[in-house]
Amino acid sequence: MDKIELYYNGIDIYDKVSLNFCVHEMNAEHYADSLTLRFNDSAGVWSKYGSEANDIIRLKYGDADSGAMYLHSMSAQNGLFTIRALSMPAEKKEKKSRNWKGMKLTSIVAQLAEEHGLKYALYGVEEQVYRNLTQTDETDFEFLERLCSYESCCFLIHNKKLVVYSEPYMEAREASTLEVGQNGQFDYGMIKKKYTSCKVISGSYTGTFSIGDTGELLVRRDVQASSEGEAIRYAKGLLRKENKKTVFGRIIKSLQTQYSAASVVKLHTDRASLWDKKMFITCIRNDYIKNRSDIYFRGIPEGY
């Protein structure tokens, strides 16, 4: 049977604590990964330990590896001690305003990674050059999330690496089968596409992207585009962002360490076969004390 390995600044502390809560949450979109630990500390031993923001915590269990996680908070209450760590560095939250003129997308990613002490990688991302791009009163990662939404991309941070990926590229990968089973716990949903077209209006430039002739039109006037082609590309990304979660759900199973966020799976659900199709995992919440995985997914958009 696999054993939890829990490292604090490179030292395995698992045998030195008595965990009663240990949850690792991996996210593919919008949110940093998190690791929350709670253990008995009735003698106040751990409370005397000198800890610094961005101390490194890492959890391993079989196939699962949280990678390096940065300490964000510690608290003590009634003999219990709680540690919360995130995959994102703690101190880099200031809002900034700056212009990115004549910059390539890869150069922007590389600069942001360097400024935050991270390595970087891109998967399936098409190179773009921006005549003028403005970051206005946003943190670097808020700015990057907005830029990714224009380009049909997302980013995540894992093991001190900033990863930017094309959503269509990741969704096109071969899927492994995820069996829910006769007695599997699940909660699935499906809603009608909210929009079938998006129009970006930016000064003298207008761009529209459509996936159908009927349905609502999404109009965005708050997007900075430097050409008609750029406006069309941004409209495509923004339409995808609005509609990509029209099919969604959650599966609860015993601990599933072989899956990770941003994986592609083919569902097999005996009691809900309508959802038996290719899905994209947006989040996995592994509870190592309860031996349980909550797997959240969304459908894969067609046409964009």
pTM of the entire structure?
0.93
Q: What is the DSSP string of 118-187?
A: -EEEEESPPP-EEEEEEEEEE-HHHHHHHHHHHTTEEEEEETTEEEEEEHHHHHTSPPEEEE--TT-EEE
Give pLDDT tens digits for 79-137: 889 999 999 987 667 899 999 999 999 999 999 999 999 999 999 999 999 999 999 99
Q: What is the DSSP code (8-state) at residue 152?
A: T
The percentage of residues in the chain with a pLDDT greater than 90, rounded to a whole number, is 77
Contact residues for 138 (Cβ-Cβ < 8 A; gap 6+) = 95, 96, 97, 146
Give pLDDT tens digits for 268-287: 998 888 899 999 999 999 99
SS3 of 240, please?
A: helix
